[in-house]
Structure 1
Amino acid sequence: MQANKTQNDLLSFPIGVTLKNMTIPMVMGMIALMSFNLIDTFFIGLLGTNELAAISFTFPVTFTVISLTIGLGIGTSACIAKTLGGGDNSEARDQGTSALLLSVVLVASLSSIGWLLITPIFTLLGSEQNTLPFILEYMQIWYFSSVFLVLPMIGNSILRASGDTKTPSTIMALGGAMNAILDPVLIFGLGPVPALGMTGAAIASLIAWMTGAAVMLYILSIKRQLIYLHLPEWKKLKNSVQKILKIALPAAGANMLTPLAMSILTAIVAGYGHEAVAAFGVGQRLESIGCIVVLALSMTLPPFISQNLGAGQVQRVIDGYKLCCRFVLLWQFVVYILLVISAPLIANAFASEGEVNQLIRVFIWIVPLGYGLQGIIILTNSSFNALHKPMIALQLSIMRLFLFYVPAAYIGGELYGIYGLFAGCVVGNCCMAMVSYFRFKKQGV
């Protein structure tokens, strides 16, 4: 198992250098992946406003399944990294193998339920006859393909736990590139390939994820030997699953609160018209790009924390957290300035209709102002999970979404319309960022 070198890097190299070396490859991979996802949204937007609104309606639901996977990945990474920090490579392989099996079973179960309830769920979210047929086309295939999405995502967590962020970034970029290439062919047709519309977009994702899953399983089992090709003994499997679920269930619950809150917020936005939903959906995808460094840090900081926790290096954990918080505040302010300057170009790229175009611009002028504060919230939650204190992270997530973020957005909308709703998102993040930072200082390691 090739973990010793990267393990020593996490435990002994200077903190800033270590996190930079881990984060830069993740940023590169995520830029590629998220850029391709924006291309996906761009091609769907060319089909029309109803199709763009339909894909916006799917975001909270698809993110529910993805959030479960993210939660499982958090538990996997925290357990394996701490085990590696303690020097037990064999148990780490047991945990990696068990994590993959557990994740496939849980995601397949959740997706099956979602597939059976497509119409009632999206009707509840506010979808109407002008968008529901397109949602059905997309989601019937997406739910099936989610089983293949879980394997590379959990595999990435295993690799990151060992200190390897270059391989996950490469696999993410590969999948995103394949999806971007297949999208225009399957959506609009080319040669003998018929135009499949929304169905084509879903099939493109399915093919990309199947390829990523095959590559990941080869790397983990053959090239890196981070998992076993056979099931662990029952006692080891049970022990690994229990350790992973102890962190994964609260983490998954916390992550699932986000799409739940987004579902509520989407339903609120739907009250301002389908143009507002379309603009809000574009804004949510732009947020992924705007916060890409924060998201990368939220994936690289936890293995650093968990390995140092396993090695008993507590001060190194505290120093790493504070360094990241200072950095994201400065970085996200720079990102905000760049987004404001680019707002007209971005809006013109995603929407030709005047009202949708204007709403995208306003979203960019207001909401990204709170991205740095949101970064502190994200890093604090991921740090508590890495410290094997997932219940604190869950408590903070509940507070953020249902005490600050959604209520502030709703109140802002009631007072000043859709513009006030956008401003409320910033206010909610500001309040929660302060709560999160001081909770970490008070709690300690």
Structure 2
Amino acid sequence: MAKAESSMILSAPIVPTLRKMTIPMIFGMIFLMLFNLVDTFFISMLGTEPLAAISFTFPVTFTVISLAIGLGIGTSAVIATELGSGSQNQARFHGGVAIALSAVMVTALAIIGFVFIDEIFLLLGAQPHLLALIHQYMGVWFFASVLLVTPMIGNSVLRANGDTKTPSIVMGASGLVNAILDPILIFGFGPIEAMGVQGAAIASAISWVIGVVAILYILIIKRQLVSLRCATQTYKNAIRNILRIGLPAAGANMLTPLAMAVMTAIVAHFGAPAVAAFGVGSRIESIASLVVLALSMTLPPFISQNFGAGKKDRVKQAYQQTLKFVMIWQFFIYLVLIVVAPFIANAFADDDNVRDLIKLFIYILPLTYGLQGVIILTNSSFNAVHKPLNALALSVIRLFVFYVPIAYIGSLIAGLEGLFVGAAIGNLFTALIAYYWFSQGLKCTEVEAQEAT
């Protein structure tokens, strides 16, 4: 099955292949988003303090998840490239090493977090009276985090092999289990006593256990896609290969919440209604960009396999056709958002001022979501061709050279409207640089290949 999927990536028509790979990921991400919302909803029913305590955990949990995402990107890029070059045994070895490496690194990070839990959350601004609730949740979460990262890395191995359907099923099933267990363990049911926020953490841990069992069974027994033995590769080299891409990718992921924190601080100068509207807009962005996020998981293994096989023409075509589709698709989404903007504003806000600001956000920023898609997919493509520092540099350029600075300048000139316009201009400049940079890189590799022959 894996060989058939790999063959499809290397020889089948590009657009239908990417469509076949991406659609399952879209459904998997939709289920995951819905179940995460359910998780927050049930915790909010416990009251303001439990919800506030959980809110303080997001930066910490996102740090661990960013590391896992980065390692997953490195894993996928290395394995897909080796599959493209025909090195099946090395691909399996890198898959096994990646799962073991991620478990060790996340366990070490979790132990540090648990030992310094009070210091970390006080530094984040948590009030001392919330620490007991934070302990209840994070005490479980830290030690269960290795159960979270294993399916994430395992899914990256599957995607590198061209299988995106199985990861979406694993993601959806884990989320469903979590959604079912949440109310039972949080509020109690029958002989099961109410556990509050700790119950939410335990529900997540149980769902992750199921994910671990499922993914290891698929990878080790059913598909035989991972191994810890390889005559042509050492552990040291395998770890270096994965971290060379994984660590910069993790760093790039961590830049986004940092930039959003700065943007929120800028928006806060315009008052609470502006912050509320910006928060709603950020949630709309994640939903409106769902297809782009799914493509950012399926385009890289396609590019990596063809890059490893020396099929640079398919890499170029896949990159360009995907960007063309994203620009058209996101413009269509923008038109839909304009039509439904009043309904969205009414659904998320009771205050007329907040409603007006939500509509202002929708009328301006989503117009450049296609350009933002160009940036995200170029970033993923750089990682796919083993240029992680380019991807990291592109993230820095986007967020801290254009997006945040121009938005801030715009806010000084024309208030909140200027901020939104400035952020949109930042997306435009970065998208132009991203496309030119990656396209020139492909031309250079083509010239090098011709000279070598």
TM-score range, shorter chain: 0.7 to 0.9
Amino acid at match of 1:329: M
Amino acid at match of 2:255: L
Call closer, same or farther: CA 1:204–1:193 in 2, change over 3 Å: same
Kindly indicate whether the alpha-carbon contact (under 8 Å) linking 1:384 and 1:392 is maintained by their aligned counterparts in 2.
Answer: yes
Deviations 1:44-100 (A, max 9, x none): 444556655555554343222211111111111111111111112111111100000
Q: Per-residue deviation at 1:191?
A: 3.8
Q: Per-residue deviation at 1:355?
A: 7.6
Match of 1:242 in 2: 240
Q: How does 1:14-413 map to 2 (within 5 A)?
A: 14-47=13-46, 55-128=54-127, 135=134, 137-228=136-227, 236-266=234-264, 268=266, 283-343=281-341, 346=344, 363-413=361-411
Kindly indicate whether the alpha-carbon contact (under 8 Å) linking 1:261 and 1:401 is maintained by their aligned counterparts in 2.
Answer: yes
Kindly indicate whether the alpha-carbon contact (under 8 Å) linking 1:64 and 1:259 is maintained by their aligned counterparts in 2.
Answer: no
Q: 3-state SS of the aligned residue for 1:388?
A: coil
Deviations 1:357-402 (A, max 9, x none): 7766665555433322211111001101111111111111111122
Deviations 1:187-209 (A, max 9, x none): 34444444444333333222211
Using structure 2 for the length normalisation, give the TM-score: 0.86
Call closer, same or farther: CA 1:284–1:183 in 2, change over 3 Å: farther
Q: Per-residue deviation at 1:417?
A: 5.7
Kindly indicate whether the alpha-carbon contact (under 8 Å) linking 2:89 and 2:230 is maintained by their aligned counterparts in 1.
Answer: no
Q: Per-residue deviation at 1:180?
A: 1.9
Q: 3-state SS of the aligned residue for 2:225?
A: coil
- Larger deviation: 204-213 or 292-301? 204-213
Q: 3-state SS of the aligned residue for 2:162?
A: coil
Question: Where does the alignment leave 5 or more consecutive residues of structure 2 unmatched?
Answer: 446-453
Call closer, same or farther: CA 1:238–1:176 in 2, change over 3 Å: same
Deviations 1:155-209 (A, max 9, x none): 0110011111110010011011112222333334444444444333333222211
> What percent identity do the matched residue pairs reach?
59
- Larger deviation: 235-244 or 135-144? 135-144
Call closer, same or farther: CA 1:268–1:139 in 2, change over 3 Å: farther
Q: 3-state SS of the aligned residue for 2:234?
A: helix
Q: 2:28 and 2:423 mapped to 1: Cα distance?
A: 28
Q: 2:149 and 2:18 mapped to 1: Cα distance?
A: 26
Q: Per-residue deviation at 1:347?
A: 5.8
Match of 2:426 in 1: 428
Kindly indicate whether the alpha-carbon contact (under 8 Å) linking 1:254 and 1:397 is maintained by their aligned counterparts in 2.
Answer: yes
Q: 2:104 and 2:36 mapped to 1: Cα distance?
A: 26
Q: 1:217 and 1:154 mapped to 2: Cα distance?
A: 11
Q: 1:256 and 1:347 mapped to 2: Cα distance?
A: 30
Using structure 1 for the length normalisation, give the TM-score: 0.87
Question: Where does the alignment leave 5 or more consecutive residues of structure 1 unmatched?
Answer: none
Call closer, same or farther: CA 1:9–1:127 in 2, change over 3 Å: same
Kindly indicate whether the alpha-carbon contact (under 8 Å) linking 2:90 and 2:230 is maintained by their aligned counterparts in 1.
Answer: no
Q: 3-state SS of the aligned residue for 2:305?
A: helix
- Give the structure with higher Rg (CA): 2
